[in-house]
Amino acid sequence: MIVVQKYGGTSVGDVDRVKRVADRIARTRRAGNQVVVVVSAMGKTTNELIKMAEEISDDPPGRELDMLLTAGERISMAVVAMALHELGVPARSFTGSQAGIITDARHGKARIVDITPGRVKEALDDGDVVIVAGFQGVSQDTKDVTTLGRGGSDTTAVALAAALDADVCEIYTDVDGVFTADPRIVPDARKLDRVSFEEMLELAAQGAKVLQVRSVEFGRNYGVEIHVRSSFSYSQGTWVGPEEKKMEDAIISGVAHDTSEAKLTLKGVPDKPGVAARVFTALAEANVNIDMIVQNVSAEGVTDISFTLPRGETKHADEVLSTLSDEIGATGVDIDDSIAKVSLVGAGMKTHPGIAARMFAALSDAGVNIEMISTSTIRISVVVDGDDVETAVRAIHDAFDLSDGMVGKEQGA
Ligand code: ASP
Ligand code: MG
């Protein structure tokens, strides 16, 4: 079997943990498998490197920042390979570029456009364990080193699993799998045995941090099932795969939350054709990532438009809109930095009415005010005050009986 294993930063956080990971890899190899390992940077290395760059420059060149950040994963790949040699297991490490991870040229958020894993296959055929530095590739056009965005090692792993037609893709992390809510907020949250690609996409996009969104997209597009599990135990984790394979017939899979966004309101906007287009074109041209949008009912020809965006982009968006505000005759821009988004996700929503009603009633009973609402076919998201996030997550989790000990089938009752 070809097995791809990805180890996150905590799993390779220090020398002892590197040795422990090497031991697990060695067992997988000795069981007769061909093993490809993708590693993240050790512990908080990536954050520390970013901090260092920020101490030097407000706006470091993307090319150089990527050069710097990719060093984190290169340290991990070398030490894991060494630890395997120490155990008598031949291993060879490769950078993303050497492993054939070909990307576009967008530094900091490059997309994989092709994978040419010739050297990986050769090393596997020689009987070596292959260690690949995650989160990085090389641009087809510029030949420069690129990174795939925070959490990108997950995507490296799933993409390699697809390219190698691997039998298993395991993502090792510091938790037991995907939970019905963040266990730090809901201590009796339940580990899911299976979750569909679609549900996992929504959960990851709405703040669940176990998997990078793009790794799930890759898995769905290429049919790679992903086993999310803990590197600190041998128990089964959560399988992410096609909807048909989900055995338990749960209506709701979980509650995700995200405290990384801010809300911006453009006030007193003239309610006439073309205004929203101008606002969002200006933001798009400035590369601001917009999430939820709400336009209020207009009174006397004026309205408010609110939207959420990553908190780090508010300054930029404020500059763009303050200029535009005068041009279109709006009265000003309001920024709310203290918001949270809470989302309920479940494929069963498509066929079960009343889910939104139950969610909103739970929030109301808990005294939480809803500021914005948005939905997809399998998700309901609300924006609430940042101080209410834990109360909101718990209230919703309770209202749908998602806790440990509950049987998925009973959820809709
Ligand atoms: N080291 C990178 C990060 O911290 C990539 C990863 O861990 O997947 O975002
Ligand atoms: Mg991660």
> Which CATH number goes with the domain that contains 97?
3.40.1160.10
Name the DSSP class of 191.
Answer: B
Strand order in the sheet with 101-103: 112-115, 101-103, 136-139, 145-147
Does residue 198 form part of some domain? Answer: no
Q: Is residue 201 one of the residues assigned to a domain?
A: no
Largest Cα–Cα separation, the chain: 78
Strands 238-241 and 293-295: unpaired
Tokens 């009912």 belong to 297
Please report whether residue 266 resides in a domain. no
pLDDT tens string, the chain, 413 residues long: the values are 999 999 999 999 999 999 999 999 999 999 999 999 999 999 999 999 999 999 999 999 999 999 999 999 999 999 999 999 999 999 999 999 999 999 999 999 999 999 999 999 999 999 999 999 999 999 999 999 999 999 999 999 999 999 999 999 999 999 999 999 999 999 999 999 999 999 999 999 999 999 999 999 999 999 999 999 999 999 999 999 998 776 556 789 999 999 999 999 999 999 989 999 999 999 999 989 999 999 988 888 999 999 999 999 999 999 999 999 999 999 999 999 999 999 999 999 988 999 999 999 999 999 999 999 999 999 999 999 999 999 999 999 999 999 976 544 344 33
Nearest-atom number in ligand 1 for the CA of 152 is 8
Contact 186, 22 (CB under 8 A): no
Q: What six digits make up the tokens of 245?
A: 């394979």
Per-residue pLDDT at 249: 67
- Which ligand places an atom closest to the C-alpha of 42? 1
How far apart, in whole angstroms, are the C-alpha atoms of residue 138 and residue 145? 4
Query: Angle 275-285/314-328 helices, nearest 10 degrees?
Result: 140
Give CA–CA dist 210/149, Å, rounded.
14
Gap from CA of 213 to ligand 2 centroid (Å): 11
Please report whether residue 380 resides in a domain. no
Distance separating alpha carbons of residues 106 and 280, to the nearest angstrom: 22
Give distance in angstroms: CA of 36 to centre of ligand 2: 18
Is 164 within a domain? yes
Residue 135 lies in a domain: yes
Strands across the sheet containing 302-310: 293-295, 302-310, 261-270, 332-336
pLDDT at 61: 97
Nearest-CA residue for ligand 1 atom 5 is: 151
CA 154 to ligand 1: nearest atom: 8
- The 8-class DSSP code of residue 165 comes to T
Residue 170 Cα to ligand 1 middle (Å): 16
The residue range of the domain holding 109 is: 2-174
Count of the separate structural domains present in the chain = 1
Q: Look at residue 140 in the predicted model and tell me its pLDDT.
A: 95
- What is the position in ligand 1's atom list of the atom closest to the CA of 40? 7
Amino acid at 357: A
pLDDT of residue 246: 66
Q: Give 45 Cα–ligand 2 centroid separation in angstroms.
A: 13
- Whether residue 139 lies inside any domain: the answer is yes
196 token code pair: 């569909």
Residue 327 phi/psi, 5-degree rounding, is -60, -40
pLDDT of residue 315: 92
165 inside domain: yes
* Residue in this structure with the two tokens 């060494």, named with its chain if needed: 82
